[in-house]
Chains A and B, each alone.
Chain A
């Protein structure tokens, strides 16, 4: 476990209950003891079904919400007691971001840049740099309301980089975007970490996005973190196993399911799919066993489970 000094985010037993309705009697437990550790410089994915508590957790870490219980630190600073100092060092972009309707992209960036204390030549240079980076140049005179969804998203992303944040929260950054825009945003995210060492915490519904970008992933459901680790480790942890697809002669040898390490056997078309706990160890053993049984192996392919399967398993 990394020491506190090496952590960008450290959350312990966070709880948050929202009250609504008549006399605020209706209670919704959004977080029920969520704990999280994110190393500095990591790209960290927060996955979970709708209503799992992702946005609530992100909002607490971004100082937009005050937790009912537990504690959270960003770069070693408490998000409640040292909120102002924390805010200087983080930023956030969300998929459904919105800005004042009449402002043009450079004006939006100028406004928030000033709120981060940027001024004069440094502010102007930063705004221009971000306009270029996010390819907003041709739209600099278009008012916010008239921008397309993709352009609005790019502007939100540019806004999130104004203060060169050390910790960047991205809440569904590619939600509803065209694939080419999503690809560019993902490239920017990877570049940010690579060139500036920014710690990035993102929520997404796109498993491929998480698998492509993230060093570590946490699954959250019902306000609790169910699992956390690198994607590969999670796949092992969930024990959904890896699949060996075999074309055999005879097609279904008796006793295959009893071979040690084989978790499941099922037929898919002409192939027989054997789910094993660790393919590196089990594949040679399986082939040896088939040979001993006199079974001819006509084809053999290994499929790694993707994150989506892990997600489905955990969300069950």
Chain B
């Protein structure tokens, strides 16, 4: 048997952590998502296949319906928004889903990691993949359906994409919170919730065609305002005043709420023991 002669030792000094450690933790999640994306062939489907199929099928639909270039832009802007949001939010959700699927949840939450690290790190990869999706769709839209993605101006396009990516971050954090709160059985409902939200944001139609109660809900979704602002650049009358200001202000509020929701979900999961069950 070993001896206790050397113990106890003084508490080892741990230097205070600076910005470098913050960035390192954040980058850990980005790097893991990148490795997983590189190594799994099915990620190509997420990135190229489904967005490509969506752009082609919707573009062909606009041809069949003989829509004007302006109406084509209306529809295809929605297609771009849906695909970029879906791909980007998925990356944010992967920060938790990879650990749930591999039953390694407890290791992540055993480390001094914060929500900001997992959210921002995985979101950065989501933004990168979202830009790839956008580029692919822009090429298909321009080449086959004459849709000019820069028609609303580069500034407007940049704000639109930023709005889409912020929406993805919010949705991704909510998916993480739901999954940590209810376990893997919440996965499907989380994806369904994403599509429901996007539908309410007036993805292929103006929100004015929705019933009154649904319009009230639409007004609470930031993506509604980003789509509205982008479509103004194609000659559509704005449905809201100051749509970008409202969109970003709502996004800021929801980001704080989503962060709080995920923090509360993790705490509850530590309390109920679900965090351990997700690792068994």
Which residues of A are interface residues toward B (Cβ below 8 A)? 6, 8, 18-19, 39-43, 55-56, 59, 62-66, 75-76, 84-85, 87-92, 96-103, 107, 110-112, 114-119, 123, 143-144, 159, 164, 166, 190, 193-194, 197, 199, 211-215, 231
Contact = CB atoms under 8 A, between A and B. Distances in A.
A159 B107 contact: yes
Given A102-B39, A102-B40, A64 B276 contact: yes
B24 interface: yes
A102 B35 contact: yes
A193 B4 CA distance: 9
B70 interface: no
B20 interface: yes
Given A42-B4, A85-B112, 11 more contacts: A96-B280, A97-B104, A100-B104, A115-B28, A115-B112, A117-B21, A118-B24, A143-B39, A193-B7, A215-B1, A215-B4
B2 A194 contact: yes
Interface residues of B, number: 49
- State the 9 A-B residue pairs at the shortest beta-carbon distance, nearest first: A41-B7, A40-B8, A114-B28, A117-B21, A197-B9, A115-B111, A119-B24, A87-B112, A98-B103
Interface stretch (B129-137, B139-147, B207-215, B266-274): B266-274
Given A66-B270, A101-B102, A114-B25, A41 B9 contact: yes
Contact of B4 (A41, A87, A107): A41
Nearest to B39: A102
Interface string B1-27: 111101111011010010011001101
B280 A193 contact: no
Nearest to B5: A41
Task: Tell me if A's interface is mostly helix, strand, loop or mixed.
Answer: mixed
B36 A98 contact: no
B195 interface: no
Nearest to B112: A87
B11 A166 contact: yes
Contacts of A19: 272
Interface of B: 1-4, 6-9, 11-12, 14, 17, 20-21, 24-25, 27-28, 31-32, 35-36, 39-40, 98-99, 101-104, 106-114, 117, 267, 270-273, 275-276, 279-280
A42 B39 CA distance: 43
B276 A75 contact: no
A193 B8 contact: no
A118 B24 CA distance: 7
A115 B12 contact: no
Contacts of B101: 101
Nearest to B113: A115
A130 to B, nearest CB: 15
